[in-house]
Amino acid sequence: MMAGILDGVRILDFTQMKTGPMGTQLLADLGADVIKVERPGGGEWERGFPAFGRFTAAGASPFFLSLNRNKRSLAIDLRSARARDAIYRLMPTVDVVVQNFRPGVLDRLGYGYEALRALRPDVVYCSSSGYGGRGPYVERPGQDLLAQALSGMVLANGTADRPMPVASTVADGATALMVAIAILGGLVHRLRTGEGQYVEVDLLSTLIALQQEEIAAILNLSPRPEFRRSESGVPAPWLSAPYGIYPTKDERYLAIAMNPLDRLAALLDLPALNAYASPEKAFSHRDEVKRLIEARTREDTQAHWVAHLLAADIWCAPVQSLAEAVDDPQVRHNELIRSLRHPVLGDVGVVATPIRYSATPPTYRLAPPLAGEHSRAVLAEAGLTAAEIEALVAAGVVTEPPVDAAGGGGGGDRPDGSARAPGARAPQSNG
């Protein structure tokens, strides 16, 4: 069997919601042993987050399932001194710690960088937050939509009369990748020097970096450009036609990216386009250009236009639904959709890590865990005796899943039996 890149690397994972869990899942796919620390009982907050207002038949949140494979779950009450003792005993075996509580919360509980490096001097400790661990927004709630709003992304998106956030949680997703980069970089440094360190990422900074091209336009163009969303639907304030989405006769859509207007003029039999071929005109008259092309694409089907334009190597693609994307032949070819078998939850569909290493491919070993599924195993690895573990379970400091557990979410396994609406228990998290 081929070894994973991070085989033997242990990550103690205090994260919740999306950013942290998605980042550590990627590292778990590369072979790391990720120990997910959750609240006793119902476990992590994301287990109670519905999609389309719903949970799976087994009562699990699809969102939670998507972000937590290849991890082991330790459900433990971090506020308890006995929990702290157990985790401190685990620390000598831990290479990486990662957390995304609001700044300061975990420090106050005794799990900050200074406390944990005392037990493991070369630990790589990564914090992810909404805005950073210091500065004017340190007390504010940090979350994907809020970071999008502050970062300028909402006002750049949407139509002329309605700004729109990005539907998918791109702040969370991109910051998850920053978490992975931060930790891998820390491990490279540790392998080269033997030294650990503290490293921080945050949602707002990541979105600023993701928009570095358009910010460079603000910083380097004089006079500073105006950000006006297009009337006709050119996707971004800084882009020219033909860039955009075009309706077709069969009520589908066609995407056309940057392409020379003179070539499009010939291929679409639209000589009027030639008047806009300069960069300046392609920008200043983008709505006219878009409407001209739109009128033509409505005259035939998506399949026709894709075939016609691809034959001339025009940069275009059919617009597909997410369900079509899941069944797309290239997505299948890339083996991005996987199924994992869980003894209680049944078959769980997940999306693979999209990095294809020739010598050390990502592996998919464990289905997303039930809250506390590995509490005993992890504590035993920390050196706790069976009697010590039993005492923690008896005291409720550590929990295991009930025998008939359904995995959190909409199920009835929580002590108070309540349904958890989005945000019903806002966690002390900051992305």
129 CB-side CA count, 13 A: 20
Q: Count residues binding a second copy (CB under 8 A).
A: 169
Kindly state the smallest distance separating residue 352's Cβ from a second copy, in Å: 7
| CA 411/CA 425 separation, integer angstroms | 16
| CA dist 14 → 31, 128, 150 (Å) | 18, 11, 26
Please indicate whether residue 172 is annotated as part of the active site.
Answer: yes
Which residues, including other chains, have CB under 8 Å from residue 219's CB and lie 6 or more apart? none
Of 336, 344, 380, 391, the residue at the interface with a second copy (CB under 8 A) is: 336
Q: Does 391 bind a second copy (CB under 8 A)?
A: no
Strand partners, 318: 254
Cβ atoms of residues 179 and 24 within 8 Å: yes
What residues numbered 246-285 form the site for a second copy, per CB under 8 A?
Answer: 253, 255-261, 277-284
**Residue the block writes with tokens 């340190």:** 138
> Which candidate, 425, 416, 379, 426, places its Cα nearest to that of 399?
379
Q: Pick between residue 417 and residue 422 the one whose CB is nearest to a second copy.
A: 422
Is 150 a binder of a second copy (CB under 8 A)? yes
Residues 283-302, one symbol each (x = binds a second copy by CB under 8 A, - = not), give xx------------------
Q: How far is the CB of 300 from a second copy (least distance, A)?
A: 17
CB-CB contact of 362 with 30 (8 Å): yes
Please state the closest distance from residue 172 (CB atom) to a second copy, in A: 9
Piece in contact with a second copy (CB under 8 A), picked from 86-94, 221-229, 384-392, 397-405 = 221-229
HEC sequence for 136-174? CCCCCCCCHHHHHHHHCHHHHCEECCEECCCCCCHHHHH
Using the rule CB under 8 A, which residue among 118, 221, 303, 395 binds a second copy? 221
Write out the binding residues for a second copy, residues 85-114 only, by CB under 8 A: none
Considering only residues 12, 34, 67, 370, which one is a binding residue for a second copy as defined by CB under 8 A?
67
CA 202 from centre of chain: 13
168 is a contact residue toward a second copy (CB under 8 A): yes
Task: Out of 65, 76, 90, 384, name the contact with a second copy by CB under 8 A.
Answer: 65
Binds a second copy (CB under 8 A): choice among 79, 291, 298, 356: 356
Residues forming the active site: 172
